[in-house]
A and B are shown apart, each in its own frame.
Chain A
Amino acid sequence: MVYIVGLLSIVFLALAFMVFGRLTNVMKGVSNPQEGEEQYGSTSNKINGAMFMVFLILGVVAATWSFIHSTQYFLPQASSEHGRRTDTLFWVSMAIVTGSALLTNIFLFYFAFKYQYKNGKRATYYPENHKLELYWTVTPAIVMALMVFTGWQAWRDIMSEAPAGAQEVELIGKQFNWIARYPGVDNNKLGNYNYKLIDNNNDTGIDFSDENAFDDFTNTTELHIPVGKPVLIRIRARDVLHSVFIPHMRVKMDAVPGMPTRFWFKPEKTTEQMRNETGNQNFKYEIACTEVCGRNHFAMRLNLVVEDEDSWKKWCAEQKPLLTSFPEYASRIPANLKAKAAKYLPSADSTATASAGGVAASGNASLR
């Protein structure tokens, strides 16, 4: 890196000297200025005209080379169904717009070069041509309409309601990490939550008065999802705006405090498959944050593990429900649901004490 800096600063210095050299010439030129119309047909005009062609040719070469060079670093083929569709759309649209930008730039620079000032020549008085204007209004309009229509179809499908049977998980953004909450293995339903219930242990604010919450478990290091099955990510934020970005899946959706959002997609390749495909045995899917959220915004990441459904189920079964890890929350369970919660609490004895405490607590509350 040091060498690159050194090299580049030398190039820069050389450039600066060149400019300075020109500058002194220029200052000499100031003392004997050319007058009248003649100056426009001067060498400067020719040089500037020629420079546009040089720029055009070198620019096209540089753009082509840099593109070819960069393709190796682009994200690999999308690992989700909708991602492959938007990728295709992207590259087709990109081809169309690059082509038109190139064409119009060629005209721009070529005309600048070709029609540069010549003494005695007179420009063509050509104020309008309605037919021409009509053509170039209608043509982009049609091309645009096609692009919009295909884009809109894709957008409609991507944003449609998640198919029935989609696997739900919840992703909660906070400064500066993600928390994944799973609906648990028994009822596969996410329990209610309330931001006022958040504390150090219950960092997603799970509301244990809802029986669906009993088997919910959370994880702050990894999000596991099954492959080949629609996954619906329910997204919310605890403090400020965040944005869920899963680059390899072409997924992005903001996390908004007070307004849950969602995104569903169908992952098609497991982490293992990607490792074999990319030849990188350390490959990991990642979730990044793309809405500025404070000091460590750039480091807010979560690993995403995509695995086949069996190992996913096995992994889920190994996870401890939050209620099991922190049985003291049993005190928040309403009396009529105690029995249902019993299986998640460590042992009969501790359940009894916990619930006794709970009763006492609620008794106190009612007294107050």
Chain B
Amino acid sequence: MATESAVSTLSVHDAEHDHHEELSFWRKYIFAEDHKTIAKQYLISGIVWAIIGISFSVMFRLQLGFPQMKLEFLRPIIGNWIDESGKLDPNFYLALVTMHGTIMVFFVLTAGLSGTFSNFLIPLQVGARDMASGFLNMLSYWFFFLASMLMFVSLFLETGPAAGGWVVYPPLSALPQAHMGSELGMTLWLSSMALFIVSQLLGGINYITTVINLRTRGMSFSKLPLTIWAFFLTAILGLISFPVLLSAALLLIFDRSFGTSFFLSEIYIAGEALPNVGGSPILFQHLFWFLGHPEVYIVMLPALGITSEIIATNSRKPIFGYRAMIASMMGIAFLAFIVWAHHMFVTGMNPFLGSVFMFLTLIIAVPSAVKAFNYITTLWRGNIRFTPAMLFSIGLVSFFISGGVTGLILGNSALDIQLHDTYFVVAHFHLVMGASSAFGLLAGVYHWFPKMFGRMMNEKLGYIHFWLTFIGIYCIFFPMHYIGIAGFPRRYYAFSANDFTKNIFHDMNAFISVMAIVTFSAQFLFLYNFVYSLIKGKKATQNPWQSNTLEWTTPIVPGHGNWPGEIPAVYRWPYDYSKPGAKDDFIPQNVPYSATPESNLPHENELISLEKAIEAQNYNDQFKQPH
């Protein structure tokens, strides 16, 4: 009976499989519910946004590096924001800075990174047919798309997009009479962010549910790849913190449009005393940073997860301290919620609160240090293959360290007094969070490109791309520390107004700008490689990196449902690389201990008896449920 029903469900499954194959073009590629397609949609959107976001930084770097330069050649792109004398409009400078931050943090490193790899890897690595809800997943992408459209449209407004910094502190962002960027551009920014948050929540719920409920047989939490741990914790962070940003955005919308005074008090502007009293601009900052700080880790953790996987695979060694890695990610995720006010030491917040947040902030350095040490020890006595993904992962660790240590300076409230809102801060967070997670994204694309598109990316181009980018980023952000120590404030259109910034660091700023252009140009190598490999790349093999995780057990280009037959069961952790006694230097997760008596450790021999139980477990297979 049992076999009969199994056969019948199998045939039902086959029938449904065929049924799924017949999707129309729209359902298959546009309003797709398949996690792999959605991941690609996120990836491509992320890449498009990255080009826009980084090109903005190049524009304002031209202004900062070459303040005398005639920028007329930009007129075809940004039109009248270049004035008659060929100078960039100071309002638009602020708009560029603001949009660069918003786009890179939210649209590239949150949506582009988490959206791509959480979607792509969670079902493949935990052994699921798809996300828990394909429909919500599709909604998540299209809400993101809508948010993207609104933000994109705001770039073309006559009054320009939002321009009060990516943190959009009121009252500047609340009062259209205070700043050009606080007019329609700000309204669109807030609407776009509200939609973006909806998208993040839909995505996050899905990631969490899938990881908890749809793991395959034997895939206990202690056997999850670190990527999945990272995506899982990231989703939890987002789910808890993004609603707070939504509340801040809504209150700001009320203040802007409906005359409330949540963030406004005692303001005299444009010759008029406003009636608002009793609000607090500091309240907005608390709400904003309650998301804003976890956001740093929402951006960072997936990159660290990806790196863990890539470094272990390409060092041909187990990741060092698997449990310590999980514990430190949990520690970081928890602490992320109770350190937000370190962005606010000098806002007039109670200094006692400053002391508390300083203590909490510096604790977060401990799990971060543990992670860095663990990566380095994973390299130790490895057998390292420098694939482009591996190079970017090593680069990430380097940025994470070099940018991370200055966090100890900035997290120290006494030292933050001088450094707050100077280029020291810009240097710090671009290295530790911007460049690191961008490297995580690039490493991920290089590593999983064969799984996504069935073709290999060109390695040599990848090497050149890596070295140009790696050296370029250090050349941009390392000297910025010096400028920060000299007291240069950030978000300044020009440094000519103050004596203490007037005649110094011209060449340094010019150098930084040139390196920014070089680094930006180097990304076109990646784009070229991406498109070229997509069409003409070498055909991938099933497991090109000889990796242990489940996604490499699927067909070269997995179809709908990922595995044509049964989902494999999992018997071991994902890091059995170079195990003594084993024939190959890797043992995939779906190989039972009973098949590898030569390499089993004593306690693993005992686990053989559990294999029957694992196989007998619930399939947890959506395709076997009637739907």
Give me the interface of A with B, judged by CB distance under 8 Å. 1, 4-5, 8, 11-12, 15-16, 19, 22-23, 25-26, 29-30, 33, 40, 44-45, 47-49, 51-52, 55, 59, 63, 66-67, 70, 73-75, 83, 85-86, 89-90, 93-94, 96-98, 100-101, 104-105, 107-109, 111-112, 115-118, 121-129, 132-133, 136-137, 140-141, 144, 147-148, 151-152, 154-156, 158-159, 174-175, 195-196, 198, 205, 235, 238-241, 243, 245, 247-248, 250-254, 256-259, 261, 282-284, 286, 288-301
B156 at the interface (CB under 8 A from A): no
B506 at the interface (CB under 8 A from A): yes
Q: Are A258 and B354 closer than 8 Å at their CB atoms?
A: no
Q: Are B373 and A104 closer than 8 Å at their CB atoms?
A: yes
Cross-interface CB contact of B500 among A33, A101, A247, cutoff 8 Å:
A247
With a cutoff of 8 Å between Cβ atoms, the chain A residues found around residue B514 in the complex are 8, 11-12
5 closest Cβ pairs, A-B complex: A258-B265, A261-B348, A159-B351, A97-B405, A48-B386
Q: Are B417 and A298 closer than 8 Å at their CB atoms?
A: no
Check A156/B355 contact, CB under 8 A, given A123-B577, A301-B498.
yes
Check A295/B577 contact, CB under 8 A, given A126-B318, A241-B281, A259-B281.
no
Q: In whole Å, how far is A4's beta carbon from the nearest beta carbon of chain B?
A: 6
Q: Are A19 and B464 closer than 8 Å at their CB atoms?
A: yes
A194: nearest residue on chain B (CB-CB)? B266
A199: nearest residue on chain B (CB-CB)? B271
With a cutoff of 8 Å between Cβ atoms, the chain A residues found around residue B374 in the complex are 133
Q: In whole Å, how far is A336's beta carbon from the nearest beta carbon of chain B?
A: 27
A236: nearest residue on chain B (CB-CB)? B266
Q: Are A253 and B322 closer than 8 Å at their CB atoms?
A: no
Cross-interface CB contact of A155 among B355, B391, B402, B504, cutoff 8 Å:
B355
Check A141/B491 contact, CB under 8 A, given A70-B508, A124-B381, A259-B281.
no
Q: Interface of chain A, helix or strand or loop or mixed?
A: helix
A111 vs B381: C-alpha distance when bound (angstroms): 8
With a cutoff of 8 Å between Cβ atoms, the chain B residues found around residue A40 in the complex are 385
Q: Are A123 and B315 closer than 8 Å at their CB atoms?
A: yes
Check A148/B383 contact, CB under 8 A, given A16-B521, A291-B169.
no
The stretch from B288-296, B479-487, B607-615 touching chain A is: B479-487
Q: Are B418 and A195 closer than 8 Å at their CB atoms?
A: no
Q: Are A30 and B538 closer than 8 Å at their CB atoms?
A: yes
Q: In whole Å, how far is A290's beta carbon from the nearest beta carbon of chain B?
A: 4
B157 at the interface (CB under 8 A from A): no
B372 at the interface (CB under 8 A from A): yes
Q: In whole Å, how far is B450's beta carbon from the nearest beta carbon of chain A?
A: 13
With a cutoff of 8 Å between Cβ atoms, the chain A residues found around residue B69 in the complex are 5
A241 vs B173: C-alpha distance when bound (angstroms): 10
Cross-interface CB contact of A124 among B281, B369, B471, B578, cutoff 8 Å:
B578
B215 at the interface (CB under 8 A from A): no
Give me the interface of B with A, judged by CB distance under 8 Å. 66, 68-69, 90-91, 94, 164-165, 169-172, 175, 178-180, 264-269, 273, 277-282, 315-324, 346-348, 351, 354-355, 358-359, 362-363, 365-366, 369-370, 372-377, 379-386, 391, 394, 397-398, 401-402, 405-406, 408-409, 412-415, 417-418, 420-422, 458-461, 463-464, 467-468, 470-471, 474, 478-479, 482, 485-487, 489-495, 497-500, 504-508, 510-511, 514, 517-518, 521-522, 525, 536, 538, 575, 577-580, 585
A129 vs B374: C-alpha distance when bound (angstroms): 10
Q: In whole Å, how far is A235's beta carbon from the nearest beta carbon of chain B?
A: 8
Q: In whole Å, how far is B567's beta carbon from the nearest beta carbon of chain A?
A: 27
With a cutoff of 8 Å between Cβ atoms, the chain A residues found around residue B68 in the complex are 1
B345: nearest residue on chain A (CB-CB)? A155
Check A59/B474 contact, CB under 8 A, given A136-B369, A256-B347, A298-B90.
yes
With a cutoff of 8 Å between Cβ atoms, the chain B residues found around residue A115 in the complex are 315, 379-384
Q: Are A294 and B497 closer than 8 Å at their CB atoms?
A: no
Q: In whole Å, how far is A233's beta carbon from the nearest beta carbon of chain B?
A: 12
Cross-interface CB contact of A127 among B468, B538, B575, cutoff 8 Å:
B575
Cross-interface CB contact of A238 among B267, B362, B522, B536, cutoff 8 Å:
B267
Check A254/B66 contact, CB under 8 A, given A104-B376, A117-B384, A198-B268.
no
A85: nearest residue on chain B (CB-CB)? B414
Q: Are A291 and B320 closer than 8 Å at their CB atoms?
A: no
A125 vs B489: C-alpha distance when bound (angstroms): 49
Q: Are B385 and A257 closer than 8 Å at their CB atoms?
A: no
A108 vs B402: C-alpha distance when bound (angstroms): 12
Q: Are B178 and A239 closer than 8 Å at their CB atoms?
A: yes
With a cutoff of 8 Å between Cβ atoms, the chain A residues found around residue B491 in the complex are 292, 297-298
Q: Are B179 and A295 closer than 8 Å at their CB atoms?
A: yes
Q: Are A73 and B505 closer than 8 Å at their CB atoms?
A: yes
With a cutoff of 8 Å between Cβ atoms, the chain B residues found around residue A291 in the complex are 169, 421
With a cutoff of 8 Å between Cβ atoms, the chain B residues found around residue A235 in the complex are 348
With a cutoff of 8 Å between Cβ atoms, the chain A residues found around residue B94 in the complex are 292, 294-295, 297
Q: In whole Å, how far is B420's beta carbon from the nearest beta carbon of chain A?
A: 6
Cross-interface CB contact of B460 among A26, A59, A158, cutoff 8 Å:
A26
Q: Are A144 and B414 closer than 8 Å at their CB atoms?
A: no
With a cutoff of 8 Å between Cβ atoms, the chain B residues found around residue A241 in the complex are 169, 171-172, 281
Q: In whole Å, how far is B318's beta carbon from the nearest beta carbon of chain A?
A: 4
5 A-B residue pairings within 8 Å (CB atoms): A75-B485, A108-B397, A128-B324, A147-B408, A239-B268
Q: In whole Å, how far is B19's beta carbon from the nearest beta carbon of chain A?
A: 39
Q: Are B373 and A136 closer than 8 Å at their CB atoms?
A: yes
Check A111/B281 contact, CB under 8 A, given A19-B464, A298-B90.
no
With a cutoff of 8 Å between Cβ atoms, the chain A residues found around residue B281 in the complex are 241, 256-259
A255: nearest residue on chain B (CB-CB)? B348
Q: Are A29 and B460 closer than 8 Å at their CB atoms?
A: yes
B174: nearest residue on chain A (CB-CB)? A240
Q: Are B318 and A125 closer than 8 Å at their CB atoms?
A: yes
With a cutoff of 8 Å between Cβ atoms, the chain B residues found around residue A90 in the complex are 409, 415, 418
Cross-interface CB contact of B401 among A73, A108, A154, A243, cutoff 8 Å:
A108
Q: In whole Å, how far is A210's beta carbon from the nearest beta carbon of chain B?
A: 17
Q: Are B394 and A52 closer than 8 Å at their CB atoms?
A: yes
Q: Are B317 and A125 closer than 8 Å at their CB atoms?
A: yes
Q: In whole Å, how far is B192's beta carbon from the nearest beta carbon of chain A?
A: 20
With a cutoff of 8 Å between Cβ atoms, the chain B residues found around residue A148 in the complex are 358-359, 362, 412
